[in-house]
């Protein structure tokens, strides 16, 4: 292949370098809407021009045609890329995808095929001749019908792209308008130049200036999208927040102009988009002037704002964060607004309801405490007098009377027990349970509970074994009555829910903490299911809720024991297996000083 030099190569070479540079710049910013089609446009033009340089540098018809055909790759792609640029640029919500692009690429592919196979049909180039009469050789072509088909198609897509840009220009205001205006101006160059080139006056041009005109367009487009630095910010934000989200999003540039906004934000402002984009925030948020004043220079914020509008209160969550470019410079701010009026209203209603419920609960506890107290006084008298009468009637000769009086006495005792439990629970819940700390011997407490629980053990034919793995004279500093009460509750339950069984009470140091004492009470009774174990320490819980309850009781004992343990900075744990038995571990500090008791005796929630 021999080559010729012509000075016409120089402008095309310069134009191709410019095009390629713009392609690289656009590629680096491909996140920006319109940038990817711009890359395709500029690469197509570069390819077209490079092939064109090689074409006009060739000296034979064959090599001229070869390069002309190669140039057609860029020639057919350029106008389509141009249209995609206009579509994406004027609708910065949807990017053009390969799927949407394919139908528009059918004609270019067809034309490429036609151009490459032209020597078979001459429908694209009717005649081809190499003019060597001048200072350098160049191809002289008579166009065939399919060439004009391609011209029509290219003009079609260019017209559509131009229409999109002009329409956007008239529908936009502020800084965006100027930005689109630059792109609109850019569209004129290829129109004018190409019309001149393919018109009969074409003899004016020895070389085809169309790619150079496209290069001018590309530069203008690039200026349009990058020059104003506006789109620099908005696509960054757009990529991270979806247009359809509920939160209102505004992007504000460093000059406090609104440069982007999503649909939810527009709904908050109730203004057409052309009265928002590109305008200063004071104008856009004219109804919120005090907030504009307050947050005008705030780079970062996350706060609740509240304002009244037409007698209605609105709550918004306002979040402001800075936007940075790749060099870390602040390029603007992202403002997010979330209307949480409903949520806040619901919260307020919930808080009021909770306060009302707590007040009602406190009232209930006070009522229970008072009522239990009231009930206890006459009951004590009933018990006292029935015992007295029992003694007196024992000497009389009525055999039924002492028995009946004893029944009264037992029932009254039972009632007193229930009332005492209720009183204890209401005291604990009202935070009024106090401790009376004293030093006492652990052995004597164990001995006394053994005596008390004996009747229940005997009733169910159970046997109790005590393993006392401590010094017999070990003393404990705690509330003796409450320690007794806990042990009695648990032992009493073990005896109640076991029949003909073995109950073991082990007393030792807590293996995990020597400053604590551990009472372990195991039985081989009815056991508790896994689900029920979880609710065991809740007041009024009873495993057996059948109407024919076999065991009686109120379901208060364990809840009280739990609270008392916690009150003395101890703990109570349970393991159980249905049908096999239960094991309770009670942990209590050997020394419960007043100051280690949790403030105001508050207890954990069950």
Q: What dihedral do alpha carbons 500, 506, 507, 509 form, nearest 10°?
A: -160
Is 37:203 a contact under the CB 8 Å cutoff?
A: no
Nearer to ligand ADP, 45 or 494 (CB): 494
Q: Report, in Å, the least distance between residue 531 CB and ligand ADP.
A: 12
State the residue number with the nearest CB to ligand ADP: 553
Residue 381, H or E segment = helix 341-395
Q: Report, in Å, the least distance between residue 560 CB and ligand ADP.
A: 8
Place of tokens 């209160």: 313
Distance in angstroms (rounded) separating the CA atoms of residues 600 and 509: 28
Nearest 5°: the CA angle 199, 201, 207 is 90
Reduced to 3 states, what is the DSSP secondary structure of residue 44?
A: helix
The site for ligand ADP (CB under 6 A) is made up of: 489, 493-494, 497, 523, 525-528, 536, 541-544, 553-559, 582
Q: Report, in Å, the least distance between residue 539 CB and ligand ADP.
A: 8
Nearer to ligand ADP, 183 or 493 (CB): 493
Measured in whole angstroms, the distance separating CA 440 from the mean position of its chain's CA atoms is: 56
Nearer to ligand ADP, 405 or 505 (CB): 505
Q: Report, in Å, the least distance between residue 368 CB and ligand ADP.
A: 17
E runs forming strands in 75-149: 125-131, 138-143
CA distances from 131 to 11, 52, 392 (A): 22, 16, 148
Q: Report, in Å, the least distance between residue 478 CB and ligand ADP.
A: 21
Nearer to ligand ADP, 317 or 420 (CB): 420
Distance in angstroms (rounded) separating the CA atoms of residues 68 and 58: 10
Q: Report, in Å, the least distance between residue 420 CB and ligand ADP.
A: 12
Reduced to 3 states, what is the DSSP secondary structure of residue 383?
A: helix
List phi, psi (to 5°) of 568.
Answer: -95, 20
- Where do the H-state alpha helices sit in 126-174? 145-171
Nearer to ligand ADP, 431 or 555 (CB): 555
Q: What dihedral do alpha carbons 15, 20, 22, 28 form, nearest 10°?
A: -170
Q: How many CB atoms lie within 10 A of CB 441?
A: 14
Nearer to ligand ADP, 177 or 417 (CB): 417
Nearer to ligand ADP, 248 or 527 (CB): 527
Q: Report, in Å, the least distance between residue 241 CB and ligand ADP.
A: 54
List the 312-324 sheet strands across, edge first. Answer: 258-261, 248-253, 330-339, 312-324, 301-309
Nearer to ligand ADP, 253 or 523 (CB): 523
Q: Report, in Å, the least distance between residue 406 CB and ligand ADP.
A: 23
């Amino acid at each position: 292949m021999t080559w010729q030099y012509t000075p016409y190569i120089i402008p095309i070479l310069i134009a191709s370098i410019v095009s390629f540079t713009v392609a690289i710049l656009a590629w680096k910013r491909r996140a920006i809407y319109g940038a990817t089609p711009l890359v395709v446009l500029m690469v197509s033009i570069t390819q077209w021009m490079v092939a064109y340089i090689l074409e006009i540098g060739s000296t034979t018809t064959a090599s001229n045609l070869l390069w002309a055909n190669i140039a057609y790759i860029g020639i057919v792609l350029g106008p389509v890329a141009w249209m995609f640029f206009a579509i994406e640029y004027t609708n910065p919500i949807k990017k053009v995808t390969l799927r949407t692009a394919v139908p528009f690429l059918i004609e270019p592919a067809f034309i490429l095929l036609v151009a490459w196979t032209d020597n078979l049909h001459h429908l694209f180039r009717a005649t081809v001749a190499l003019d060597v009469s001048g200072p350098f050789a160049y191809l002289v072509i008579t166009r065939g019908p399919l060439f004009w088909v391609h011209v029509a198609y290219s003009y079609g897509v260019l017209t559509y792209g131009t229409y999109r840009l002009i329409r956007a220009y008239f529908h936009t205001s502020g800084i965006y308008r100027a930005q689109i205006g630059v792109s609109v101006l850019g569209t004129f160059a290829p129109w004018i130049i190409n019309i001149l080139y393919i018109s009969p006056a074409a003899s004016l041009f020895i070389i085809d200036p169309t790619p150079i005109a496209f290069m001018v367009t590309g530069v203008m487009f690039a200026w349009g999208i990058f020059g104003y630095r506006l789109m620099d910010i908005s696509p960054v934000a757009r990529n991270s927040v979806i247009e359809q989200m509920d939160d209102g999003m505004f992007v504000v540039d460093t000059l406090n102009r609104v440069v982007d906004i999503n649909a939810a934000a527009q709904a908050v402002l109730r203004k057409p988009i052309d009265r928002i984009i590109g305008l200063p925030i004071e104008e856009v948020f004219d109804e919120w002037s005090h907030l504009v004043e307050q947050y005008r220079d705030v780079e970062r914020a996350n706060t609740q704002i509240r304002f009244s509008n037409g007698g209605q209160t609105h709550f918004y969550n306002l979040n402001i964060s800075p936007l940075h470019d790749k060099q870390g410079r602040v390029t603007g701010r992202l403002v997010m607004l979330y209307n949480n009026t409903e949520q806040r209203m619901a919260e307020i209603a919930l808080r009021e309801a909770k306060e009302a419920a707590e007040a009602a609960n406190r009232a209930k506890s006070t009522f229970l405490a008072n009522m239990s107290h009231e009930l206890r006084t006459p009951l004590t008298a009933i018990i006292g007098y029935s015992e007295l009468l029992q003694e007196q009637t024992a000497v009389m000769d009525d055999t039924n009377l002492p028995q009946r009086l004893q029944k009264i006495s037992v029932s009254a005792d039972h009632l007193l027990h229930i009332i005492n439990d209720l009183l204890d629970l209401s005291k604990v819940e009202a935070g009024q349970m106090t401790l009376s700390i004293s030093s006492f011997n652990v052995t004597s407490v164990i001995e006394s509970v053994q005596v008390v629980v004996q009747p229940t053990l005997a009733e169910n034919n159970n046997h109790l074994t005590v393993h006392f793995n401590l010094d017999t004279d070990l003393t404990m500093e705690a509330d003796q009555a409450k320690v007794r009460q806990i042990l009695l509750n648990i032992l009493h339950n073990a005896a109640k829910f076991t029949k003909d069984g073995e109950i073991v009470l082990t007393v030792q140091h807590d293996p995990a903490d020597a400053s604590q004492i551990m009472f372990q009470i195991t039985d081989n009774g009815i056991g508790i299911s896994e689900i029920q174990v979880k609710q065991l320490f809740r007041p009024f819980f009873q495993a057996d809720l059948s109407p024919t309850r076999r065991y009686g009781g109120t379901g208060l004992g364990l809840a009280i024991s739990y609270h008392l343990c916690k009150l003395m900075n101890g703990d109570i744990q349970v393991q159980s297996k249905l049908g096999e038995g239960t094991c309770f571990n009670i942990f209590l500090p050997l020394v419960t000083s007043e100051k280690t008791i949790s403030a105001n005796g508050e207890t954990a929630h069950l």
